[in-house]
Amino acid sequence: MKNNIIYTVFTFLLLVFSACNNSKPTEKELNTASKNPNIIEVSEKQYKSAQMEVQQTELQLFSETIKTNGFIDVPPTDRAMVSAIMGGYVKISHLLIGTKVKKGELLLTMENPAFIEIQQNYLELFEKLTYLKNEFERQKTLFNEKITSEKNYLKAESDYKSSLAQYNGLEQKLRLMNINVNNVKAGKFTSTIPVYSPINGSVTQVYASVGKFMNESDVLVEIIDDLHKHIELVIFEKDVMVVKEGMKIRFKLPENSTNWYDAEVHLIGKSIDEKNRTVKVHGHLENEKQDFLVGMFVEAEIITNEVQRTALPIGALIEENNSFSVLVLTSQKEGSYQFEKRAVKIGLKTESFVEIIDPTDLLKEKQILVKGVFTPLEE
């Protein structure tokens, strides 16, 4: 409707142009407009002031695509959900969302009296093991010399090996709790344990606050390393056989729909989501240094084929009631240009060009108005 109004104004201005300059249109002009409304004449001055341009149709590369959507993500190895090996009260935490951390850096400390009990049990077993080991070796020697019974020997062996297993288990637990076992052996106990960052990255979520009790299954902090970002897309079952690894991907952010970015299909899922009948597609970004945030929604096109087609700039089209036409230069005389409106069919589109379906080659080598089509004309 908008284009129809603009085009009507465009034609009307040509008919009343002389009236705007205190003169009347000639009989020839009126007859031309009434006999053939598809003919439009433009003066040299109008042509220049409207910055009109003409050109011939040309071959352009068009892409056959599958439209999809997804989000920016990182590999599982670059996302950490940090928890403590045991529950406790958060004692110290200075973390803020966005804080950059390095692998092994202290995130927070937790406190629990139960930590002391574990260290006590460990020290007791450490001291006890020396006696149990000596007793086991003594009973073994006596048993070999037929001095003691097998029952005494087996009991000593069992006591020593079970205590050794408990000792080793507690030692591993203390190491996971980041408690120095040498300090424990020296009788130096602590009621607090540190929690360190397992990866380099930035803090994206903080669930722990000072004084809050956190269970061992609770996530304390989320850390993401966005050095290697990628896109995760979903395609429908009907498109699975078409998409191949190595195909190009174009995507944009809905919040910034004017900029397109490039990626490539790297992996295609091997199973179909039974509920949505979709398959995941993993794409590698051409430029991983773009300032994308993990979790950003993207609209994407997977390019399955590229073909050359006869095309014109999109600005050349006139749309009226779901049909399209262009203005073809039919005559150029001194001081004026004459255009004829001709219906066309369109096909594939890009941001700048549209395929012109012209099976009879009526537009071949013709000069077509591609710029200034809807510009109001002034003398």
Angle at 302 between CA 301 and CA 305, to 5 degrees: 120
Nearest residue to 119 via CA among 37, 198, 219, 186: 186
How do residues 140-153 score in pLDDT, each as one tens digit? Answer: 888 888 887 888 88
Share of residues in the chain with pLDDT > 90 (%): 58
In this prediction, residues 171-179 reach a mean pLDDT of: 94
Rounded to whole angstroms, how far apart are CA atoms 290 and 226?
10
Which residue's entry shows tokens 């749309």?
Answer: 319
Nearest residue to 379 via CA among 335, 339, 348: 335
Kindly state the greatest CA–CA separation across the chain: 139
Q: What is the mean pLDDT of the chain?
A: 86
Those residues whose C-beta lies under 8 Å from the C-beta of residue 91, and which sit 6 or more positions away, are 108, 109, 110, 111, 192, 210
More confident residue, 261 or 38: 261
Rounded to whole angstroms, how far apart are CA atoms 206 and 41?
69
* Structure tokens given for 20: 């705007």
**What is the per-residue pLDDT for 262?**
94
How do residues 44-84 score in pLDDT, each as one tens digit? Answer: 888 888 889 999 999 998 888 899 999 999 999 999 999 99
**What is the per-residue pLDDT for 242?**
92
- A 10 A CB-CB count for 225 gives 20
